[in-house]
A = this chain, B = another copy of it.
Amino acid sequence: MAEELPHRHATLDEVAALAGVSRSVASRVINNAPHVSRAKRESVEKAIRKLGYVPNPKARALATRQAGAAALVISRDDPEVLTDPFFGQLIAGVAGALEEADLHMMLCVAATPRGRERVEQLVRSRAVDGVMLTASHEDDPLARIAKESPLPVVFGGRPVDFEPRWYVDIDNVGGARDATEHLLARGRTRVVTICGPQDTEVARSRHRGYREAMTLAGLTPRPPEVGDFSEAAGAAAMTRLLEAHPDLDGVFAANDNMAAGALRALRGAGRSVPEDVSVVGFDDLAVAQLTDPALTTIHQPIRDLGREMARMLVGVVAGRTAGPLILPTHLVKRSST
């Protein structure tokens, strides 16, 4: 019974006709709905096979008002973001969870004005059942649209300027606290930090974690130096810190790139790591394994982040309630501490 793929699609009507039933019955068979006798069910199934019938998802979407798809929106001006392996892992997580729910994934890169407009259109036209919004920055117009839309929107990472109804985030505060406490546990007491840009929630949270750990240990947090998350900025910040605190013996950098820069600057200043100074990063990017010495850092479960975002969205779409979800991080001990 090897069927050709017919160029013209069979319709449900044709299936029903061939099976000698009404379209309603055929539809019920397709959707595995009750109220179909065993005999008719089989006869419809046979007709489906014979005609190579595949339901038309557009017609179905129109009738059910469900798109059968969710959008993953990457909202960032820089089209290069995707090069970051972060997104590969995030996408992998999202893909897996959407597959479980049998939803398709629409991937939207909102890097240009045109791209952002398209996303807005997508949301307003309800071409998808829900949206996962990530990499959103402060004053992101998409965040506003998403916030106002009746469509379920799950945020990846808590936005800096409001608390969305649904979001999944990494435990930045806890991770930073762990990192700092790790430094303290190794006997470091003059611990400083290199922060990220203060208009990002990530940077703020990680800074908060540092302060909490210091205060908890009865130490006074030292004023941070700020960088833009780049290696160069990390090196520059480290240099400034060495001037301000020549006695420092521990550094918590808000991400691995800056930590790598800090290592470079420390070496340049003649301090040896981890003998004189211990350094901890955050993110556990590939670079963390390639620095010399290899970087102790906070690993974040990016793939889980994607998975949980998708699961949360699926839940909300299905009418289940859900609250924010914060995923735990863990420290990866390498040679820089």
Asked if A22 is at the interface (CB within 8 A of a chain B CB), the reply is no
User: Which B residues are CB-close (under 8 A) to A80?
Assistant: 92
Which residue on B lies nearest to A86, using beta carbons? Answer: B88
A58 touches B54 (CB 8 A): no
Residue of B nearest to A103 (CB): B118
Q: Give the residues in chain B near A148, CB-CB below 8 Å.
A: 5
For the complex formed, measure the closest distance between the CB of A294 and the CB atoms of chain B, giving whole angstroms.
13
Cβ of A163 within 8 Å of any chain B Cβ, yes or no, is: no
Residues of chain A having any CB pair with chain B under 8 Å: 5, 7, 9, 54-59, 61-62, 67, 69, 72, 79-80, 82-85, 87-89, 91-92, 95-96, 99, 102, 104-109, 111-112, 114-115, 118, 121-122, 124-127, 148-150, 286, 290
Whether A106 pairs with B109 at a CB distance below 8 angstroms is: no
Q: In the complex the two chains form, what is the Cα distance from A84 to B286 in whole Å?
A: 11
**Alpha-carbon separation in the docked complex, A266 to B149 (Å):** 60
A57 surroundings in chain B (CB, below 8 A): 125, 127
Chain B residues with CB under 8 A of A115: 95, 99
Given A54-B124, A80-B92, A104-B108 contact (CB < 8 Å): yes
List residues of chain B with CB within 8 A of the CB of A112. 99
Contact A106 B104 (CB under 8 A): yes
Contact assessment for B109 and A107 in the assembled complex, using a CB-CB cutoff below 8 Å:
no
| Complex contact B118–A95 (CB within 8 A) | no
* Chain B positions within 8 Å of A111 at CB level: 95
Do B83 and A125 touch across chains, with their CB atoms under 8 A apart?
A: no
Which of B9, B88, B150 lies in contact with A5, CB distance below 8 A? Answer: B150
The 4 A-B pairs with the shortest beta carbon distances in the complex, nearest first, are A58-B61, A95-B109, A82-B92, A82-B88
Q: Kindly list chain B residues whose C-beta atoms are within 8 Å of the C-beta of A126.
A: 9, 56
List, in ascending order, chain B residues with CB within 8 A of A127's CB. 57-58, 104
Q: Output the least CB separation between A96 and chain B (Å).
A: 7
Bound form: Cα–Cα A133–B62 in Å: 28
Shortest beta-carbon distance from A110 to chain B in Å: 10
Chain B residues within an 8 Å CB radius of A286? 286
Inter-chain contact B58/A62, CB cutoff 8 Å: yes
Residues of chain B within 8 A (CB-CB) of A83 are 85, 88-89, 92
A61 to B, closest residue via Cβ: B58
State how many angstroms separate the Cβ of A299 from the closest Cβ of chain B: 14
A-B contacts, 14 of them at CB < 8 A, read A5-B124, A5-B149, A9-B126, A55-B125, A56-B126, A58-B62, A69-B106, A79-B92, A82-B88, A83-B92, A85-B88, A87-B88, A92-B109, A95-B109
Tell me which of B79, B102, B149 contacts A118 (CB under 8 A): B102
Q: What residues of B have a CB within 8 angstroms of the CB of A109 in the complex?
A: 91-92, 95-96, 99
Pair B95/A107 contact, Cβ less than 8 Å: yes
A9 CA to B62 CA in the complex, in Å?
Answer: 13
Q: A82-B89, A83-B88 are in contact. List 20 more A-B contacts (CB 8 A).
A: A56-B125, A58-B62, A58-B67, A59-B62, A69-B106, A79-B92, A79-B95, A82-B92, A83-B92, A87-B88, A88-B88, A95-B109, A99-B112, A99-B114, A99-B115, A102-B118, A104-B118, A105-B107, A107-B107, A290-B290
Docked CA distance A42–B319 (Å): 41
